[in-house]
Structure 1
Amino acid sequence: MSRQFPLHPGKHALPAVTDPAEHAEYVRGRYPQATLAGIDGAVLLYQRPVLERAKASYPSRRLNWVRGELFMLERQGRQGRQVAVCGGFGLGAPAAALVLEQLIALGVRRVITVGTAATLHPDLPPGQLVVCDNALRDEGVSHHYLPPGSHIKPSKQLTERLAEHLRNRGVVARRGPSWTTDAPYRETGAEVGRFGRLGVLTADMEAAAVFAVAQHRGVDAAAVFAVADSLVDRKPRQGSPHTRAALHTALQAALSTLSAAARPPASRLR
């Protein structure tokens, strides 16, 4: 039996039987106005308090168009910018990839994922924000979308804008690679030590998949994490107010980044 993965060679270059456009067509059969084309972008959220904070901070309306809970936020009043936030769809690469495919099929062209991660370095405390500029592909999803490879990078421009918006808020965010894994209860000391020595800052469960889907579909993606715990200094699990505050800061930076990225250059406004 073949030991390669995926099992079928070269599958990333083959057309799929299923198509997310089918989902969009089904949704529009029920909601003819269902489109996300023209909005500034979407933020994927994994912690419910952050989603609730987003809904409470802006006028919002729920849209039953994708898996999970999708809300359209009206920023700066009725004539302001529109950004979608989506949460409640689960954790991990497959869940993020599924909902991202549906969002893209409905018209989303930019996405930022905001979540928590575990640090691989003792000098990154709870609440430290990390902008991911490279993801190790130690999950399964990305290998169905792209040729074999050890890592994948996000959109350079969107990542730069995200880092800039955090700096403008006075946030000292770290920037570096993350190790995306499907098996949070199988992270070993050997891996933590090895990847840490290579400069990998965090471990997460979605970034590589999000970047792979975005690259495959020709859209822009970026990611920012709030450190929640440590893989080098294990302690009893407890929630940190610093992590919660950092997630809210990351959300605001992500919303501003998407709106700024969607605006035409000043020369085109004249």
Structure 2
Amino acid sequence: MTTPAQQPLPITGIPRTGLPAHAVVVGDPARAAAVAGLLDDAKEISYHREYRTFTGTWQHLPVVVASHGVGAPGALLLFQELAEAGVTHFIRLGTAGAIRPGVGDGDLVVADAAVRDDGVTRQLIPAEYPAFAAPEAVLALQRAARAAQAPYHRGVVWTRAAFQPGFLPLPAEAYERAGIAAIEMELSALYVFASTRGLTAGGALVVDGVNADELVDEEATGGYDPHRSVVADGVTRAARITLDALRLLAAEDAGLPAQTSPTTR
């Protein structure tokens, strides 16, 4: 008979303690499996609802890879339970719609901060509190992207709860003029959660199209299609960059020199 301390956490089904300190979090359970496929000794430890979790090692670094589904409220539940189980460093590997001119399909966006339009964090902390990445996570992602010779951009992203536009006017034009790089759905929740708990978080987003608000004439634009090869290639490249960034963070925490050359796996 298991004791309460031995029972898995209620939302994600992951163990209550003992997880590695470094995690890649993604939206899609299938993407979690794909990233885990890059690891040595990968093992699925839980699959409950949209929350699919693996452990393994990357260049000798123990890591967690876990999916959180679509939307910030559900994603926040994963972040909370991962932290309870031992994770201290998070990088969200996701996709996003480009807003800033010059940000192209398959490019990587390294997010310095996020607009808190996520639908959940205003219920947790006043709206004036910023959603910002840990600077060391941003720099680690930048170093890893440069080493991989990957096209990348840095900037602020817009985390928005609604995927499609509705009947209310939204500040898309203002955010474009302000230089917002891209739009996605979960990152600000991670940044607020991590910063308020003294944890380290970063975001690596692969562009899979333009802002959904602009797809008014689907016949003319071809509609939103995130399943193109340019996006898949970008996600695979970004997965390695994200794992390398976690390795850089671990080396920095340990006071060790970190290799920035791209991995060949």
Shared fold (TM-score, shorter chain, > 0.5): yes
- Which residue of structure 2 lines up, in the alignment, with residue 196 of structure 1? 176
CA shift in 2, pair 1:241/1:47, >3 Å = farther
After TM superposition, the structure 1 stretch with the greater mean CA deviation from structure 2, 255-264 or 40-49, is 40-49
- Which residue of structure 2 lines up, in the alignment, with residue 217 of structure 1? 197
TM-score by length of 1: 0.79
Tell me, yes or no, if structure 1 residue 41 matches structure 2 residue 14: no
d(CA) in 2 for partners of 1:225 and 1:136?
15
Deviation per residue, 1:103-146 (Å, 9 max, x gap): 00011000000111111134322111100101001122222333
Task: Give, in angstroms, the shift of residue 216 of structure 1.
Answer: 1.9
TM-score by length of 2: 0.81
Segments of structure 1 that go 5 or more residues without pairing to the other structure are 1-22
Superposed CA RMSD: 2.7
- Which residue of structure 1 lines up, in the alignment, with residue 224 of structure 2? 237
Tell me if structure 2 keeps the 8 A contact 1:93–1:205.
Answer: yes
Query: Given the alignment, which residue of 69, 74, 81 partners 2:57?
Result: 74
Task: Give, in angstroms, the shift of residue 193 of structure 1.
Answer: 1.1
Tell me if structure 2 keeps the 8 A contact 1:73–1:83.
Answer: yes
After TM superposition, the structure 1 stretch with the greater mean CA deviation from structure 2, 170-179 or 119-128, is 119-128
d(CA) in 1 for partners of 2:54 and 2:14?
17
Tell me if structure 2 keeps the 8 A contact 1:127–1:240.
Answer: no
- Which residue of structure 1 lines up, in the alignment, with residue 255 of structure 2? 265
- Which residue of structure 2 lines up, in the alignment, with residue 84 of structure 1? 64
Segments of structure 2 that go 5 or more residues without pairing to the other structure are 216-220, 258-265
Deviation per residue, 1:133-191 (Å, 9 max, x gap): 01001122222333322742111111111111111111121000111110111277752
- Which residue of structure 2 lines up, in the alignment, with residue 3 of structure 1? none
Task: Give, in angstroms, the shift of residue 233 of structure 1.
Answer: 5.0
- Which residue of structure 1 lines up, in the alignment, with residue 35 of structure 2? 54
Tell me, yes or no, if structure 1 residue 179 matches structure 2 residue 166: no
Q: Alignment length, in residue pairs?
A: 239
Task: Give, in angstroms, the shift of residue 24 of structure 1.
Answer: 7.0
After TM superposition, the structure 1 stretch with the greater mean CA deviation from structure 2, 115-124 or 44-53, is 44-53
